[in-house]
Amino acid sequence: MNLLITGAWNDAKKYVDKLQQKGHNVKFLQFEKDELPCEYEWVEGVICNGLFLTHSIEKFVNLKYIQLTSAGFDRVPMDYVKEHKIEIHNARGVYSIPMAEFALFGVLEIYKKGKFFLENQKLHIWEKHRELLELFGKKVCILGCGSVGTECAKRFKAFGCEVTGIDLFVRTDENYNTILELSKLEVVLLESDIVILTLPLTDETKYLMNDEKFMAMKEGAVLVNIARGGVIDINALVRALSRLRGVVLDVFEEEPLGENSLLWKMQNVIVTPHNSFVGDGNRERLASIIIENCNKGGYVC
């Protein structure tokens, strides 16, 4: 297979020789927005992330295989992929563990008043805080019960939480107390102490968290978004902040977050730069899934 690999796979160069030994012709493109090191017609398979944001997929007339380094498909023209029967794989499961750990960290940071103690440490102030919360017994709503959501469910359940999943596909899963359909979301929000967003961004989920949903949330709840920024109507969130105990935002509709955004200075908001997916096990997991998917497709790697 004529395989174009981009720098989205950080360890790609370590595997080029192996791929070539298996019979693949490999070209490498460090930055996906740059000019290709080959003709579009040459490419039969790609390992990439956002390549098609700057290079029209229609130009790859012989394309038959796509491996993404991301978990989401929102940077790929999926209608075209399906119409042309192009085999496509994502990086499902690669980033789920660090993202779930990050969600847990974010909630604990709010429950255990991390900002308060950090500021006091800087000022050498010895002051107790009498309003720390426990995770034990809290009700957690996980919106999106895929790989990331399920890793979140495992961890919050281990802390003694009651975990309800909301998903388009209802199923029985031991990691959740129950999984309900999307139409039940507002009912679940009324009772949830913690709401974690891990669902993909689609036409159906864009601005799913709007004024109506925020009004339905339990007062004093915590919201964590490690999904996509477009799942939240950010103006509706700002209007609702006074009702919430805290918000952890790792993703935004426009990134980087604007320097003048009000979210930077909100006391009950934690802002991180789309960083929740980072973990020291990612590289090994990504290489493993790339090789496995390639072999499954009959393109021996």
Which residue among 75, 92, 274, 283 is the active-site one? 274
Q: What are phi and psi of 95, to 5 degrees?
A: -105, 5
Residue 255 annotated as catalytic = yes
Residue 228 annotated as catalytic = yes
- Distance, in Å, from the CA atom of 276 to the CA atom of 279, rounded to the nearest integer, reads 8
Residue 245 annotated as catalytic = no
Other residues' Cβ atoms within 10 Å of the Cβ of residue 235: 11
Is the backbone of residue 206 left (phi > 0), alpha (psi -120 to 50) or beta?
Answer: beta
- Please give, one letter per residue, the 3-state secondary structure of the chain: CEEEEECCCCCHHHHHHHHHHCCCEEEEECCCCCCCCCCHHHCCEEEECCHHHHCCHHHCCCCCEEEECCCCCCCCCHHHHHHCCCEEECCCCCCHHHHHHHHHHHHHHHHCCHHHHHHHHHCCCCCCCCCCCCCCCCEEEEECCCHHHHHHHHHHHHCCCEEEEECCCCCCCCCCCEEECHHHHHHHHCCCCEEEECCCCCCCCCCCECHHHHHHCCCCCEEEECCCHHHECHHHHHHHHHHCCEEEECCCCCCCCCCCCHHHHCCCEEECCCCCCCCCCHHHHHHHHHHHHHHHCCCCC
Tokens of 212: 């109506």
Which residue among 39, 181, 204, 255 is the active-site one? 255
Which residue among 228, 259, 283, 284 is the active-site one? 228
Residues identified as active-site: 228, 255, 274
